[in-house]
Amino acid sequence: MQSVRMAPIIDGLLVVLSMLNNVQFVMSHPTHPGNIGAAARAMKNMGLSQLSLINPKQFPCAEATQRASGAQDILANAGVYDSLDQAIAGSRLVVGTSARSRTLPWPMLEPRELAEKIAQEPSTHPVAILFGTENSGLTNSELQLCHYHVAIPANPNYSSLNIASAMQLIAYELRMAALKFEHLETASEAEVDPGELPATAEQMDQMIKHFEQVLESTGYLDPVKPKMLELRLRRLFGKAQVTDSEFRMLRGILASIKKFE
């Protein structure tokens, strides 16, 4: 009888783990190893395990291990990359943390909205959440790779958050959303049409470059004065949430245009 009563609890935990295991926290150019360790601890508190580091100044490092305080397994399994493109290549949803307004407005979410959006996505959608350097945050070029920006609604008179604290807040919202939606049946990979999955970050990069090549050949794009074309295309396709099948269709259309040069 005990095993029967435990079954729904176990099933619910599996749904929570499926969602959280699908989320990657990416720290871009972290300069303080202590923050890396504190980030790992914050992640493990909330059940997240995927940590990626872009060109960390010091890693591995004893200070990071000490600050991890029991989350050394996350540090041991952390991915270390030379570029952000490498880290997010397979991600189908990329979100950048930012408190700054931009020249070109970008779709914005609060942490709770982001967490609920992720919780309702199929478990086959890898998600990357980007965190910038301790002093200046994410660069404009890094933020332009994102589908959404997420901002923590802190005190406007003192909105600067330690990076590990920001990660803790977002990780908490992710866990709460996972617990809230654990009763929903999660689609298995076999039930998801691969062609209807969102295009990956790598596919998006390929498509943007293809568009620029074709538009330059037709005379629409002046490479000397691009007028933020790449940025606007990224925002357009990000809002459209282009799928894998749509990506292939668009690449085919672009290839057909090139034939008439």
Q: What percent of the chain has pLDDT over 90?
A: 58
pLDDT per residue as tens digits for the range 185-226: 444 444 667 778 889 999 999 999 999 999 999 889 888 888
Q: Is 224 contained in some domain?
A: yes
Final residue of a domain: which of 125, 157, 180?
180
Percent of the residues in the chain that have a pLDDT greater than 70, as a whole number: 86
pLDDT at position 190: 47
Strand 148-150 relative to strand 79-81: parallel, antiparallel, unpaired? unpaired
187 domain-assigned: no
d(CA 67, CA 61): 10
Checking if the pLDDT of 251 tops 50, the result is yes
b/e map 25-53, b = 16+ CB within 10 Å: bbbbbbebbbbbbbbbbbbbebbbbbbbb
Number of domains in the chain: 2
The pLDDT value given to residue 19: 84
Residue range(s) defining the domain that contains residue 88: 2-180
Does 185 fall in a domain?
no
- Domain ends where: 180, 201, 226? 180
**What pLDDT, on the 0 to 100 scale, is given for residue 102?**
62
CATH of residue 129's domain is 3.40.1280.10
Query: Is this prediction's pTM over 0.75?
Result: yes
pLDDT surpasses 50 at 6: no
Does 182 score more than 80 pLDDT?
Answer: no
